[in-house]
Chains A and B, each alone.
Chain A
Amino acid sequence: MSHTRYRVQEAGAPRPFPPEAMARIEKILKRYPTKQAALLPVLWVAQETWGWVSKESAEEVARLLGLPVSHVDGVLTFYTMYNLRPVGKHLLQFCTSISCHLAGAGRLVARCEKRLGIGLEETTADGKFTLLEVECIAGCDRAPSMMINDAYHEPMDEKKLDDLLDRLGRES
């Protein structure tokens, strides 16, 4: 995968966390002896609040935790699950690691690309789907495994994939 995670400067979501997110952050901070240790959980709160982590969100997280914003960027771009730009309503994550690869994950990805008319790391024009390849998601016994947002769909095959894309595509 040649996609890089450098740019985090797209126009962002509003800065302050809503009160319910702040309440979660307060609770998180109580669980750790340092504020820095709360960074991954707080970035998750940001992502769950806005769907992705904007430059402005990174700055706000840095301010809340008293960290250099460069540190937040370093962490944000190291971990692949933080979205650095808005993603579609349905984040299609195909596992292409060895067991899923042996089970034909590559064909599923190709089929998905063709059906949606997008490449990896891209989002459909209607904002419904974003397509990703991911590394092993521990679904090897039900290969090929995939996740849509936070839910597993396994084992996947071409028929099931077609049905899924049809169904999700029809949803308003």
Chain B
Amino acid sequence: MSANPEPPKAPAPPPPPAKDTFTVIFDGRPVEVPKNLNLIDAAKLAGVEIPHFCYHPRLSVVGQCRMCLVEIEGMPKIQAACTTPLKDGLSVKTTTEKVRSSRAATMEFLLINHPLDCPICDQAGECTLQDNSFGYGQQLSEYDEAKRQYPTFDRTPIGPNVIADMTRCIQCTRCIRFCQEIAGTSELTFLDRGGRTLVWTHDGGPLANEWSACAADVCPVGALTVRQFRFRSRVWYLQKTPSICPGCNIGCNNSIEARENVVYRFLPRLNPDVNDYWLCDHGRFLSESLNLRDVSKATWREAGAVRDLPVPAAVDRIAAEIRGAIETKGAASIFFLGSAHLSNEENFLLRKLADHLACPNRDVVVDRGKPRKIKSQKGWITGEEAAPNFRGAREMGLTPGRGGYGLEAVLSGKSAPDVVIAADAEFGAAADDPAAVAALRKAKFLAVAARRSNALTRAADVVLPAASLAEKDGTFTNLQGRAQKFERAFLSKPPVRAHWELLLLLAAALGWGDPDWTPAELRARIAEEVPGYGDRPESELDGGRLLKKGDFAWKGAL
């Protein structure tokens, strides 16, 4: 009997691609979630809120606050969600009576020693303890013992930028972990133990790392607050506007927090690719500088006297000088200076205007700054330029054209333009350097747009009042080449206008462009004309998500 030859084995089907998600069941509802998530974040993705204090997505998991209690099928005891490893088929219950009462218990324990000084606490309104108390606490407390106090550790500076009120501390250790794990400076520690546990520094030394205010950011209560912001505004009066830090070329995503045309503070916006949850103190505390202004009218200097005049008249005056120079000496007698502090849209407009006039003399410069470091989710980023948008300004074409010259030639005296248009009076340190200003002043006509007076504005023939970062829209391109949008927090007070508006006025006066263009339309033009800017995803432009102090963005943000 001849055995049938075995049919050739079909090649084994390739194993199904390993699933990179787990199915987790939240209150009976199965949800696919990425494997590497913490259960709290997985729940967040599924739209399920698990309250917590000590858990922070970028800090090690300590499981100490015992707020994120849930029931896990198969486990008799209540479990902390943050320390429960994710696995396929995990069934999590977040709405049972046991969960409710356990969380209420933790809230009660947290509140027995927490001062009820919310009326004078800066954290009020963005306090996780308040929020969780509202959502998960109970109205009455049977605790009527004296509350714990840390008498010499209250209302005390714990560093140059952070004030400690340790009586409010809930011992979540986020600040300790921030200093250990992110800053790497380990200033803070637990002292003593049990109900006497105190967070403090060695020998009362300063919490003074480059990101010290982030320790206050991660504080879910009012134990650590930012000195500069203390008692300045109730946070619920502040409007958050997505912006970009002007401090260096990293382009940290922040929000401008403002009220009635005053900037009160910057907070980080969550962007894992750039600044993650963090801001450096240098950048953060530039917020106050946005409120500074001593140029609020257009001025015209003639025969040694300085006169106010309406902005359109001042712009006409500049246009007339430009036309005159072109007529007598040609466009090559004009020098356009952009700025690494101005947006891509503005620098683009300036370059287009120069192109329109066939003027090849244009430039942008940047000062080297003290290196600034920030820890993105992928690692450290170092910014070495003292302005946010040098790369973008260059990419908009602000380099000398064929046969043209740049700032260096002007400052060295090699080139002597008749008309100098400096789009930003704060384009760099040179603007306050007497020798540099003298070199620029050699031109017959010098016009600048400015918010704050400096040597350059004092030397200029025409000064236009220009908006701050908070008063306009635009994009900056950071050192990674990422074009990131900042939005207007509030309108400038007339006659102050955004640099791009002033440039559009000037362009119109010179017979180019459309004064109705908006930054968005300019961005569309940039996308058409500037290599590399054509297919920027909207998400990159929009950047990070808004955060509040003490907590982090809710839906979808991890």
Residue contact B191 to A55, C-beta cutoff 8 Å: no
Q: A68-B186, A70-B189, A71-B189 are in contact. Are A4 and B203 (CB under 8 A)?
A: no
Q: Are A6 and B200 in contact (CB under 8 A)?
A: yes
The answer on a CB contact under 8 Å between B187 and A6 is: no
Q: Which residues of A contact B196 (CB under 8 A)?
A: 4-5
A13: B residues at CB distance < 8 A: none
Within 8 A of B (CB), among A4-27: 4-6, 8-9
Bound: A53/B187 CA distance, A: 20
A87 contacts the other chain (CB 8 A) = no
Assembly CA distance A78 to B201 (angstroms): 15
A33 contacts chain B at the CB level, 8 A cutoff: no
Contact B189 A74 (CB under 8 A): yes
> When the two chains form their complex, are residues A69 and B192 in contact, meaning their CB atoms are under 8 A apart?
no
Complex contacts, A69 vs chain B, CB 8 Å: 202-203
Give the distance to chain B from A54, nearest Cβ to Cβ, in Å. Answer: 10
Q: Are A6 and B191 in contact (CB under 8 A)?
A: yes
Is residue A58 contacting chain B, with contact meaning CB distance below 8 A? yes
Q: A6 to B190: give the CA distance in the assembly, Å.
A: 9
Determine if B202 and A70 form an interchain contact, defined as CB atoms under 8 angstroms apart: yes
On chain B, the number of residues with a Cβ less than 8 Å from chain A's Cβ atoms is 17
Q: Are B192 and A55 in contact (CB under 8 A)?
A: no
The answer to whether A77 and B202 have CB atoms under 8 Å apart is no
Q: A77, B191: Cβ atoms under 8 Å?
A: yes
Known: A71-B186, A74-B190. A4 touches B202 (CB 8 A): no
Q: How distant is B176 from chain A, measured CB to nearest CB, in Å?
A: 8
- Whether, in the assembled complex, A73 has its beta carbon less than 8 Å from a beta carbon of chain B, the answer is yes
**B494 interfacial by beta-carbon distance below 8 Å:** no
Tell me the nearest residue of chain A to B186, going by C-beta: A68
Question: Does the CB pair B186–A6 fall under 8 Å?
Answer: no
> Does B203 contact A77, Cβ atoms closer than 8 Å?
no
Chain A: interface size category:
10 to 19
**Which residues of B sit under 8 angstroms from A5, Cβ to Cβ?**
191-192, 196
Indicate the member of A5, A55, A68, A70 with the most B CB atoms within 10 Å.
A70
Contact with B along A60-74 (1 / 0, CB 8 A): 000000001111111
Residues of B within 8 A of A73 (CB): 189, 191, 202-203
Could you tell me the distance between the alpha carbons of A58 and B192 in the complex, rounded to whole angstroms? 15
CB distance from B296 to the nearest CB of A (A): 48
Which residues of chain A are within 8 angstroms of B204 by Cβ–Cβ distance?
A: 9
Alpha-carbon separation in the docked complex, A8 to B189 (Å): 13
Q: In chain B, what residue has the closest Cβ to A78?
A: B193
Residue B374 at the A interface, CB < 8 A? Answer: no
Q: Is the CB of A78 within 8 A of B188?
A: no
Of listed B186, B187, B202, residue having the most chain A CB within 10 A: B202
**The residue from A6, A9, A55, A68 contacting B198, defined by CB atoms under 8 A apart:** A6
CB nearest to A5 among chain B residues: B192
A6 to B189, CA, bound (A): 11
Select from chain A the residue with minimum beta-carbon distance to B180.
Answer: A68
Chain A residues within an 8 Å CB radius of B198: 4, 6
| Inter-subunit contact B191/A74 (CB<8 Å) | yes
Contacts known (A68-B186, A70-B187); A8 close to B192, Cβ less than 8 A = no
Q: Which 5 A-B pairs have the closest CB atoms?
A: A68-B186, A74-B189, A70-B189, A5-B192, A77-B191
In the assembled complex, 28 residue pairs joining A and B whose CB atoms fall closer than 8 Å, in A order, are: A4-B196, A4-B198, A5-B192, A6-B153, A6-B192, A6-B200, A8-B203, A9-B203, A55-B202, A55-B203, A58-B202, A59-B202, A68-B180, A68-B187, A70-B186, A70-B187, A70-B188, A70-B201, A71-B186, A71-B189, A73-B189, A73-B203, A74-B190, A74-B191, A77-B191, A77-B192, A78-B192, A78-B193
Given contacts A70-B188, A70-B202, A71-B186, 18 further A-B contacts (CB under 8 A): A4-B196, A4-B198, A6-B153, A6-B192, A8-B202, A8-B203, A9-B203, A9-B204, A55-B202, A68-B186, A68-B187, A68-B189, A72-B202, A73-B191, A73-B202, A74-B189, A77-B191, A77-B193
